[in-house]
Amino acid sequence: MLRDKNLIPLSRQHHNALALCVRLDRALASDQVDIEAWQSEIQALFEQELGVHFSAEEEVLFPVAIRFPQLSAIVEELRAEHQSLRDLFRRAGLRELEKPDLSALREVLTKHVRKEEQVLFEGMQKAMSAEELARLGRELDGMLKASSACILPTAATRLRPRS
């Protein structure tokens, strides 16, 4: 199913999170992991984009979605995952993550994003009218204006060195 235009801003942010996960996965597989640089990038992504993203989902999206019985269980799962992810982001900010923690963050964040896209968003698009989705989109736009991310990889987290 195509993504409704009112959910696309969240989907774009999901794309940014998944791009980080792909790069992190490749770095972990190559065994060339600058843990400090990755924690810095993870912290920046949370502070500049994902923190606002989580708040928009929790304050706008989830309260709408939970009204639909078929989506209430997934909303509760996603809220719990936000807590786990926030803890990992907090620990990255404190520079407490080790290589296994980076791997766990990559796995949890990837599964979380896919669940939101494939289960929650799909379910909302099926359950909500065009007018309801438009109203939701306006509320989300208002909240997401506070995020300003354009996180660029550092030399230590870039997949390939620039020539």
Domain containing 107 — which CATH number?
A: 1.20.120.520
pLDDT for res 145 = 82
Contacts of 38 (CB under 8 A, 6+ apart): 24, 27, 92, 97, 102, 156, 157
- 2 falls within a domain: no
Phi first, then psi, for residue 126 (nearest 5°) are -75, -35
Give the C-alpha separation, 94 to 10, whole Å. 27
What value does the mean pLDDT take over residues 128-133? 97
Residue 149: inside a domain, yes or no? no
The answer to the question of residue 159 being in a domain is no
Q: pTM here?
A: 0.87
User: Taking 80 as the threshold, does the pLDDT of residue 139 lie above it?
Assistant: yes
Q: Is residue 163 part of a domain?
A: no
User: Domain for residue 155, yes or no?
Assistant: no
Residue 163 is predicted with a pLDDT of 47
How far apart CA 58 and CA 52 sit, in angstroms, is: 10
Confidence of residue 144 (pLDDT cuts 50, 70, 90): confident
Number of domains in the chain: 1
**Each residue of 153-163: pLDDT tens digit?**
555 555 554 44
> For 34-52, what is each residue's pLDDT tens digit?
999 999 999 999 999 999 9
Statement: residue 110 has pLDDT above 60: yes
In a domain, 77, yes or no: yes
Q: Sorting pLDDT into bands at 50, 70 and 90, what band is 18?
A: very high
Domain with 19, as residue range(s), is 8-144
- Average of per-residue pLDDT values in the chain: 91
Burial of 40 (0-12, 13-18, 19+ CB in 10 A): middle
